[in-house]
Amino acid sequence: MDAAKELRLSDSGSEGAGLLPAAWRFECIQALRLDRSANEGEADSAPSSSTPTSAAALEECVCAHLGALEAKLEALLQHVSDELATEVGREQNHLILMQDQVDKMGQTLLRELGDVGKRLQQEKTQRCFVQGSVRECREELASVHAVLAQQAAELRGLRARLAEMEAPWLWRLARAIFRRSLQLPRVACGGPDDSATRRSSSDGEERKPLQPASGTQRSSGQV
């Protein structure tokens, strides 16, 4: 009974640990029950002097079963430790692979960041160049606009001068055309005498400026 109690206590402790299977416990309990029934039968049939031998046999049986359980438990523990070792090795390998991947990703990110920084610097330099060229273009456009404004002012002045010069000439041309238009009906209506008189009058008009010179010549001849 004491051995059975010890076995039950050990079984309860192993249940809390979760290492002793239920089948082993069932086998141990069945063996203890058989031993107990055999011992009880022998005790009933044999005299009281055979009690120490049955206790010794029970102790040997219990020790044998406990040894077998211990061996099985050690094998189970060894198997569990091996499984845990292999699992730990797998996890370590997985962690090593993950660390390698993280390192590679970090290196790629660093390279990408470097490339992005270079691109940003190039964009900044290009923007500076573009801004400088835009400023130069604006300055050139401003200078061209100033030159065009100056040329426009000069053109306006030339147009004003041409208008001033053309106005009297046009007025004289209009007067001449008007006079010619007035003279044409007289020529059409008059005869040859009128034309001769007009020619003589025109010749006289042309010669009128020369009269003072002839008068001076006459006066000089008289003197």
Q: What is the DSSP string of 143-199?
A: HHHHHHHHHHHHHHHHHHHHHHHHHHHHHHHHHHHHHHHHHHHHHHHS-HHHHHHHH
Residue range 34-57, pLDDT digits in tens = 767 766 655 555 444 445 567 788
Q: Is the pLDDT of residue 24 over 90?
A: no
pLDDT over 70 at 126, yes or no: yes
Phi (first) and psi of residue 47, to 5 degrees: -75, 180
pLDDT of residue 96 exceeding 90: yes
C-alpha 24/C-alpha 29 separation (Å) is 9
Calculate ∠ Cα 203-207-208, nearest 5°: 120
Can you read off the two tokens belonging to residue 221?
A: 């001849």
Q: What is the pLDDT of residue 48?
A: 47
Please state the pTM of the whole predicted model. Answer: 0.34
Residue 14: pLDDT over 70: no
As a whole number of angstroms, the distance between CA 40 and CA 37 comes to 5
Digit-coded pLDDT (tens) for 131-172: 989 999 999 999 999 999 999 999 998 888 887 777 677 777
pLDDT of 102 above 90? yes
**Above pLDDT 70, what percent of the chain?**
60
The per-residue pLDDT for 159 is 87
In this model, does residue 215 exceed pLDDT 60? no
Position 186 confidence tier, pLDDT thresholds 50, 70, 90: low
